[in-house]
Structure 1
């Protein structure tokens, strides 16, 4: 909590100072007449009363600048609602989105990092049964490959960015879409323009199979995706892509972007909300 309060003060120092002054003034204005009416004379305890006012004012100012943990807003001129929250993607209610490479690899270790969302999905959600993932790829993408590439590790069939499959597991529908290219060492990489292309394919699939149910996605392009933008700009890019898609063809559902706790001091949700309301 202390770290979050410090983050709030750093983001809004003027608001913090004004809250202290305002809080002290309000407390003084309220209690001084009350003491007079009740004939309470704090003689000899003036310092303690002053200290109490200051502490109460600080508490008020901490509350005022404490960073938002969740914001909601509607995309302008669309039926799409957006929620941005801090939490765990896999425990969120509704469908879930996970990015993969253009090869739809499934082997954990190399090329799929066990620390990536795809790695966690395969090992924990699917119980390590890569055949579930592979069968979905083979069944849904038959005939869609754009080229075959000989690789040391991983699959050889390469798909277009934005290609999306779905896996229904434990009453949740998972959208897995190709976001990144992969080099010979299985290192993923992408760019803002490629990310927009990939997201376009994802939204098209969500529109067809989402059925109006909430869609949960992580901060697309962060971490191992290597898009090359700071977290706040990645979030803005996702929202721009979403707005464009929702304006072209209605996407009437709630899109929930679930951020990890380590993004708390990197993304100011209040600023994001103010920019998009």
Structure 2
């Protein structure tokens, strides 16, 4: 049988066997009038008033008017049934009504379920309003996706269409409000927010809509907490997030940690001479090893056994700290309580005990870091400080540029390693935030998304 689709949730569209059909303006209005009748038969005289805009005609002119209606009905039937398989007779029926003035021809539209989008919309919303939240959210989103604009847009404001339009708009409004409730109940205020915004926009004087919108925005702000930025790396078939957040690296208890070291992997904080107690290395001993520096040293030595040293300084040349040097970029995965601390050398500790690093050193250490994370990271989230912004400052880059460099290196690594980490967190200390411009990171993600868009277009 011929497949018919009549869409009235927006500008009227007729499709027959998947092909849009163009109707003349009068025939389009005839179709709209029959849809608005909602299954009731419409007499010819009523069609003349509503479709043609003509008052009741004298009896001697009624035949001419009836012929004009029949011509448009015939055009509509031909459009509905191009193969002449009986579809038109099924969908558009001719009836006779008994009136005071005698029998009168009337026409009734009786499509099958699903052939008119408003009927499908009504059925799906009705089912969803009685369903549990997850099912309701799915079905309501499905129903609302059918809406392309104001129902029966061509006859908006005309009396015959008012009840039909009012019913659908009321149902649409109920669907939107219930979708907001369902998504909120499911813990997805981010998905509820755009729907709530559309309700508030359409009902600017509705205090409930305004309160709901304010509540969702507050919930989202609270959920972000310390988050400053979150973006997904555009990768096929998997989700990897990059998050910048304000806080303390050692508060990320569910994540692997990255701690920057010098090429000698010093850990001594005595009198703040070799390593500052306020540095990330100095805090590592206290936070994760209970002040037991020797335990950390043992784990580092175990990891460094497989790494060829670059050389050893003499006691005369380097009077304090360790004297064995390793290549910049050397990374040791230190196991701690079911997770890993990735100790990575990104600076050189001079014999004057001043750590020095540069853009290329940091990039090398990052590239080696991601390779180690891919092997030893247990596919946990990874938290990294703003490396290069501390005592071993990479002077040619400001903090925002350092963050962008970390992000850039990480995105490249994600493309090479399919199971690197589900989330990278770059942790910025609160006292550093005021002097950190994050626009380079935002710009980098804009570029990445543009590149991904061009790739999809090709």
- 3-state SS of the aligned residue for 1:225? coil
Find the partner of 1:73 among 213, 219, 231.
231
Match of 1:101 in 2: 262
1 CA distance for matches of 2:334 and 2:235? 31
Q: Larger deviation: 137-146 or 80-89?
A: 137-146
TM-score normalised over the length of structure 1: 0.71
2 CA distance for matches of 1:254 and 1:137? 25
| Superposition deviation, residue 127 in structure 1 | 2.1
Q: Which has the larger Rg?
A: 2
| 1:4-54 per-position Cα deviation (integer Å, ceiling 9, x unaligned) | xxxxxxxxxxxxxxxxxxxxxx9xxx68xx9xxxxxxxxxxxxxxxxxxxx
Q: Are 1:122 and 2:285 counterparts? A: yes
In the alignment, structure 1 segments of 5+ residues that lack a partner are 1-25, 35-62
> What pairs with 1:5-44 in structure 2 (closer than 5 Å)?
none
2 CA distance for matches of 1:101 and 1:234? 18
| Superposition deviation, residue 269 in structure 1 | 4.4
1 CA distance for matches of 2:320 and 2:285? 18
Change (3 A) 1:69 1:113: same
| Superposition deviation, residue 201 in structure 1 | 1.1
Match of 2:312 in 1: 148
Match of 1:206 in 2: 373
Find the partner of 1:226 among 380, 386, 393.
393
Q: Are 1:239 and 2:430 counterparts? A: no
| 1:248-270 per-position Cα deviation (integer Å, ceiling 9, x unaligned) | 23224211111111232233446
Any conservation in 1 of the 2:333–2:342 contact (CA below 8 Å)? yes
| Superposition deviation, residue 274 in structure 1 | 5.3
CA RMSD of aligned residues (A): 2.8
- The aligned length equals 220
Any conservation in 2 of the 1:72–1:273 contact (CA below 8 Å)? no
2 CA distance for matches of 1:219 and 1:136? 24
Any conservation in 1 of the 2:408–2:444 contact (CA below 8 Å)? no
| 1:155-190 per-position Cα deviation (integer Å, ceiling 9, x unaligned) | 111111111112222444211111101111211110
Change (3 A) 1:271 1:203: closer
> What pairs with 1:104-183 in structure 2 (closer than 5 Å)?
104-108=265-269, 109-144=272-307, 145-150=309-314, 151-183=318-350
Match of 2:32 in 1: none
2 CA distance for matches of 1:115 and 1:189? 17
1 CA distance for matches of 2:233 and 2:284? 30
Match of 1:189 in 2: 356
Match of 1:273 in 2: 442
1 CA distance for matches of 2:336 and 2:306? 25
Match of 1:53 in 2: none
- 3-state SS of the aligned residue for 2:348? strand
TM-score normalised over the length of structure 2: 0.44
- 3-state SS of the aligned residue for 2:391? helix
1 CA distance for matches of 2:380 and 2:292? 26
Any conservation in 1 of the 2:382–2:421 contact (CA below 8 Å)? no
Any conservation in 1 of the 2:400–2:438 contact (CA below 8 Å)? no
2 CA distance for matches of 1:188 and 1:167? 22
2 CA distance for matches of 1:206 and 1:245? 10
1 CA distance for matches of 2:228 and 2:297? 36
Q: Larger deviation: 246-255 or 81-90?
A: 246-255
2 CA distance for matches of 1:82 and 1:244? 13
Higher RCO structure, 1 or 2 (CA under 8 Å, sep 6+): 1
Any conservation in 2 of the 1:162–1:177 contact (CA below 8 Å)? yes
